[in-house]
Amino acid sequence: MNKPRIAFLGLGIMGSGMARRILGAGFPLTAFNRNPEKSALLASAGAAAASSPRQAAAQADIIVSMVADDQAARAVWLGGDGALAGAAPGSLCIESSTVSPGWVRELSAAAAARGCDLLDAPVTGSRVHAASGELRFLVGGTAASLDRARPVLSAMGKTITPLGPTGSGSLVKLINNFVCGVQVAALAEALAMIERSGLDTAAALEVLTQGAPGSPLVRTISARMTASDYTPNFFLKLMAKDLSYAIQEGRGLSVELATAAAALGDFQNAIAAGLGDNDMSAVAEPLRRR
């Protein structure tokens, strides 16, 4: 059987790896990115490059978005040059960006008005996982839409977790990321305390990373912080965005995310210090400099 034609919108740290996995699995692929140089790189590997989201979606059966935030997602989906303007009725829309459930509901209504179905399917994992096809998809939407999307999602990830109706995937992703952000901020504060106290840094961090606090994330981020290697795997500014969205969503549920708010303060301080485009582990630097 012929494989569905895919449009992919957004070729950043995560999207570029995901799009290459789709292409490598033999799906016909058209890609759009605001910076056309990234689309041209993918075109050299066999994809088609589109000049707008609308053009990318015009010949697609399945449209996937992987962009930074609500604002960027709204720009690629809606408006005269947006993907929905070019989407044929019956197309499947997949929002894999980490966005607010409110935006997912808005997009779902807009897709339905166009005669299209929507899955929200954000991912957990890093740039390395995106490139190697080891992402985990957190999916909200109907079983029928997921069945249709499964071959494409399986090309990009190793785990697909259905979580309920539309918006469920995005909500769980925000909860996941706020817990991660709290861990990263707590580790940054702990490292500053260790370094200023004169403790043996390596020995103290071994207690943390190999003991009860030692999640895979803590171990990975600890290595980056101690090496001061802030090559972006997950942009610091995007963690601040995710914490903000989670706090907003929590308030709508009458849950005050006090730990998320404290962590957000650390990330905002790092952004003010000019570190927003670094890896999220750079949140440690302003604490170390005080």
From the list 274, 247, 272, 275, the residue with the least C-alpha distance to 259 is 247
> What pLDDT score does 1 carry?
62
Distance of CA 128 to the CA centre of its chain: 13
Asked if the structure places residue 139 within a domain, the reply is yes
**What span, in angstroms and rounded, lies between the C-alpha atoms of 153 and 144?**
14
Q: Is residue 274 part of a domain?
A: yes
Annotation says 158 is catalytic: no
- Supply the range of the domain harboring residue 247: 171-289
CATH of the domain at 202: 1.10.1040.10
Q: Nearest-CA neighbor of 186 among 217, 161, 158? A: 217
pLDDT under 50: residue ranges of the chain: none
How many folded domains does the chain comprise? Answer: 2
The three-state DSSP-derived secondary structure of the chain is: CCCCCEEEECCCHHHHHHHHHHHHCCCCEEEECCCHHHHHHHHCCCCEECCCHHHHHCCCCEEEECCCCHHHHHHHHCCCCCHHHHCCCCCEEEECCCCCHHHHHHHHHHHHHCCCEEEECCEECCHHHHHHCCEEEEEECCHHHHHHHHHHHHHHEEEEEEEECCCHHHHHHHHHHHHHHHHHHHHHHHHHHHHHHCCCHHHHHHHHHHCCCCCHHHHHHHHHHHHCCCCCCCEHHHHHHHHHHHHHHHHHCCCCCHHHHHHHHHHHHHHHCCCCCCEHHHHHHHHHHC
Question: Phi/psi class of residue 199: alpha, beta or left (left: φ > 0; alpha: ψ in -120 to 50)?
Answer: beta
Token pair for residue 113?
A: 């008005």
Longest dimension (CA), the chain: 65
Note the pLDDT of residue 199. Answer: 98
Q: Give the model's pLDDT for residue 289.
A: 85
Is 116 in the same domain as 247? no
Calculate the dihedral angle through the C-alpha atoms of 99, 103, 109, 114, rounding to the nearest 10 degrees: -60
Residues 109 and 224 grouped into a single domain:
no
pLDDT tens per residue, range 74-125: 999 999 999 999 999 999 999 999 999 999 999 999 999 999 999 999 999 9
Q: Among candidates 173, 172, 201, which has minimal Cα distance to 187? A: 201
**What per-residue string of b and e applies to 35-68 under the rule 16 or more CB within 10 Å gives b?**
eeebbebbbeeebbbbebbbbbbbebbbbbbbbb
Q: Report in angstroms the alpha-carbon separations of 226 from 169, 183, 230, 267.
A: 33, 16, 10, 18
Last residue of a domain, one of 144, 165, 186: 165
Instruction: For residue 271, give the nearest of 234, 244, 238 by alpha carbon.
Output: 238
Question: Would you say residue 1 lies in a domain?
Answer: no
Q: Per the domain annotation, does 229 fall within a domain?
A: yes
Domain-located, residue 187: yes
Name the catalytic one among 38, 173, 237, 241: 173
- Together in a domain, 149 and 189: no
Q: Are residues 135 and 258 in the same domain?
A: no
